Structure 1
């Protein structure tokens, strides 16, 4: 038993634990996968830049989409060669927590698209990922740029309690397509604040101006509304 232990050299351990596991590694396939992931990440980059319609465009987030495609492809190439390594990678990634909030649902779609493209590139499904990415990109460009969605607004009005809501709602009925009362707050029986969801017909500035001109109205503010409201 002792002779067997002493006969095992460091070179034997190195060969058995490292070299044999990388014997099936193909440099050509890896380069093809990484190049495909790069071009797909670049495609995702331009689609995101062209279709972005949020408040502030983040160039660093767009760059991270391209890098995420490359990094995911690299990880998949590595763990596909070894089952134990894949299990260890899953365990390592399970403890990672991302704290960056995703406010726009479309950003989450692009993140998932980048990860999916990287996985398919790393697994070698090049024709599938190029075809699927082309279809996804065309759908996003079509729906983001061609289809106009009418976003509602939030109208917040503060007025003295002596002012009736009927005058405000009369102006809303005449100057908007549709309006709905979302909340009403009375402050110490002196001032009232109401919030309306409004879909305007034309110039929203004129609507706010007319409401602000009502005697007893202290403030009138109209904000863009994405559909989520917390009272």
Structure 2
């Protein structure tokens, strides 16, 4: 049987790869547009993150990272879209990268994926998706962040003498609280409770501090994670 004209699937793949240009043409204008648009959308994400942040400590460096991440992702997508061999090599190189930074707020992960998605869409040249998608995501985050679905949680730390126990309990019964920790020694008692309040109504702190025997009262905002 004549096998000289037999073409295998492997031959087709080899020919298709070899016939491809080493690099597809990406004009300087397209590159500039992609970088500028990804930078502008990154700054838009920066603004939304700063305005909707509800954590304990705002991290400016993390917010800057969101802008840089959008632009760098755009560069990567524009680079690997020019050549199939280069794209496979880039995927292999990026697969060995490991990020060790702990993300405490789940909403920070949303902003990171948002920034990466903007970079991917912009780098691929799908500008309407990156712009309209960013507007929709920003609208959802802003609306949900302004609606207080539940009371804000705080840690109330009270240091008092044992004789003030009844007065402290009387004041705490006026609040919605959950006991987190209680430390007792020979002279003083330290009580840590979680209280939930609306807005900035913190007048109860003054009421507790005026109880006879109370030495110190502190109200601390926290994100719900507590380690005694």
Identify the TM-score tier after normalising by the shorter chain: 0.7 to 0.9
1:147 and 1:66 mapped to 2: Cα distance? Answer: 26
Q: Is 1:179 aligned with 2:177?
A: yes
Partners of 2:34 and 2:63 in 1: CA distance:
21
* Counterpart-to-counterpart distance in 1, 2:46 and 2:92: 30
- Is contact 1:156–1:220 with CA below 8 Å preserved after alignment? yes
- 2:221 maps to which residue? 224
TM superposition shift of 1:57? 5.0
Partner of 2:74: 73
Of the three residues 171, 185, 194, the one matched with 1:197 is 194
Q: Deviations over 1:62-89 (max 9, x none)?
A: 3432222121011011112333322332
User: Within 5 Å, which residues of 2 pair with 1:134-213?
Assistant: 134-144=135-145, 146-148=146-148, 150-164=151-165, 166-174=166-174, 176=175, 178-187=176-185, 189-200=186-197, 203-204=201-202, 206-213=203-210
Q: What are the ranges of 5 or more consecutive residues in structure 1 without an aligned counterpart?
A: 1-16
Change (3 A) 1:200 1:32: closer
Quote the residue 1:108 is aligned against: 109
Structure 2 match to 1:123: 124
Match of 2:46 in 1: 45
The structural deviation recorded for 1:55 is 5.3
Closer, same or farther: CA 79–59 of 1 in aligned 2, 3 Å: same
Give the TM-score taking structure 1 as reference length. Answer: 0.74
SS state of the match for residue 129, structure 1?
A: helix
Residues 152/25 of structure 1: CA separation in 2 closer, same or farther (3 Å cut): same
Alpha-carbon spacing, 1:30–1:122, altered in 2? closer, same or farther (3 Å)? same
Distance in 2 of aligned mates of 1:196 and 1:91? 50
CA separation in 2, counterparts of 1:220 and 1:35? 51
User: Equivalents in 2 of 1:158, 1:62: separation in Å?
Assistant: 37
With normalisation by structure 2, the TM-score equals 0.75
Could you say what the CA RMSD is over the residues aligned between the two structures, in angstroms? Answer: 2.9
Runs of 4+ in 1 over 6 A off after TM superposition: none
Is the Cα–Cα contact under 8 Å of residues 55 and 223 in structure 2 kept in the other structure?
no
1:10-51 C-alpha deviation (Å, 9 max, x unpaired): xxxxxxx9x9411x2231544443343233223323333443
